[in-house]
Amino acid sequence: MIYLDHQATTPLAPEAKEAMLPWLSGPEAMGFANPHSMHKPGRAAAAAVEVAREQVAALLPKGGRVTFTSGATEAINQAILAVPRGNIAFSAIEHSAVVNAALASGADVQELPVSAEGLVDPEVEIDDGTGLVAVMQVNNEIGTIQPVARLAERAHEVGALFLCDAVQGAGKIAPPAGADLIALTAHKLYGPKGIGALWVRDGVAVAPLIHGGGQESGLRSGTLSPALCAGFGAAAALAKVRMDADFQHLSGLASLARSILSRWGLNGSEISRWPGNLSLHLEGLNFPRLMSDCREIAFSAGSACGSGTGAPSRVLTAIGLEARQARSSIRLGFGRYTTREEVEEACRAIEIAAVAQGV
Ligand code: PLP
């Protein structure tokens, strides 16, 4: 099986797994202790959580605090629902966590259009009365990198806060400059599933979304998992060290894939893009048939969350693809451990299967 679905989730880095094991250990070592307990094993677990917090914070801008959450969906919900300040503007290609939290907030919403390149115009008109602007750093379906630094400035000009969903960019490219709130998740950067974080710039007031025992300085109640925190921290530390090498590796894989799938059209910007994500379309392609013919390749039609509904991807239609073109798109997601041989084998198999369909 060749895994090319790194936007859906990434494998756990061996280093992250190693870092988790002591906190999953059995009765004698007491790695299982509650990090909110005052006794010695509890304090040891709390110390591991704080090391992890520093490691995650090192991926983010200076001058803010990391609160651990169950993932990015929770972090985004907290940022949107617990910072009620007026209307919410978000890009037409945001993840459904942003869209649905904004709709659930009851605030008036404004959808910021994207170009055919899949980019928000940094000079886009933002409605008066907007309290929060949310634009993601890297799109999960087409890999486009948004001009978030300028959009954060624009948000501030109208007196709004700027939320950046950095799930697909964290640990891969430099953090979004100028953001007030940043959401990220461990399982997209070779860490474990079930943990993410909300970074809040110092001085920005956020109310808790989850109430209880007052953990995480009262911002997010509930017992933390030291194992998940340690895995997240180790994955973040590794990502920081490997950022350039990973980027080079993925750029090479993307070029290789494009040279084999040379007649397929690229969805989204050619230039402002994350190389680990290749979204391609081929007129007339029957995606379910392709998937069934290429059962030994784990790849996707659009986003993992949206697939299976039958509806054409919201992101692909937002960049101007007709429903039939959107339905004949594939997403190949490469990762740190993907080899050139795997990309070559997978792309050749995909091309052969497409030719067999007569497209
Ligand atoms: N935002 C983006 C861009 C994503 O790709 C995802 C995951 O699919 C999420 C948010 C949600 O993250 P999580 O799975 O940690 O809730």
Query: What's 321's domain CATH number?
Result: 3.90.1150.10
Residue 184 above 70 pLDDT?
Answer: yes
Evaluate: CB of 69 within 6 angstroms of ligand 1: no
List pLDDT tens digits, range 302-352.
644 445 566 789 999 999 998 888 889 999 999 999 999 999 999 999 999
Look at 27-31, 216-220, 245-249 and tell me which has the smallest mean pLDDT.
27-31
CA–CA distance from 199 to each of 64, 85, 185 (Å)?
A: 6, 18, 11
Residue 201 and residue 94 share a domain: yes
Evaluate: CB of 124 within 6 angstroms of ligand 1: no
Tokens of 345: 């084998």
How many domains does the chain divide into? 2
Q: Taking all residues of the chain, what is their mean pLDDT, rounded to a whole number?
A: 95
- Average pLDDT on 197-221 reads 96
Residue 239 above 80 pLDDT?
Answer: yes
Query: Domain residues for 26?
Result: 14-238
Closest by CA position to 79, among listed 168, 177, 198: 198
Evaluate: CB of 196 within 6 angstroms of ligand 1: yes
Residue that is last in its domain, among 220, 238, 256: 238
At residue 324, the pLDDT reads: 86
More confident position, 307 or 270: 270
Residue 234 and residue 196 share a domain: yes
Residue 193 and residue 64 share a domain: yes
Residue 267 and residue 231 share a domain: no
At residue 244, the pLDDT reads: 98
Single out the catalytic residue among 164, 294, 305, 347: 305
List pLDDT tens digits, range 55-105.
999 999 999 999 999 999 999 999 999 876 789 999 999 999 999 999 999
* Cβ contacts of 23-31, under 8 Å, gap ≥ 24: 23/48, 23/225, 23/226, 23/227, 23/230, 24/227, 31/226, 31/227
At residue 304, the pLDDT reads: 47
At residue 305, the pLDDT reads: 47
At residue 314, the pLDDT reads: 92
Distance 73 CA to ligand 1 centre (A): 6
Residue 199 and residue 96 share a domain: yes
Whole-number Å distance between alpha carbons of 22 and 18: 8
Closest by CA position to 137, among listed 83, 176, 105: 176
Tokens of 342: 């795997």
Sorting pLDDT into bands at 50, 70 and 90, what band is 29? Answer: confident
Is 347 catalytic? The answer is no
Residue 195 and residue 302 share a domain: no
Residue 263 and residue 311 share a domain: yes
* Atom of ligand 1 at shortest range from CA of 76: 10
List pLDDT tens digits, range 276-300.
999 999 999 999 999 999 999 999 9
Evaluate: CB of 275 within 6 angstroms of ligand 1: no
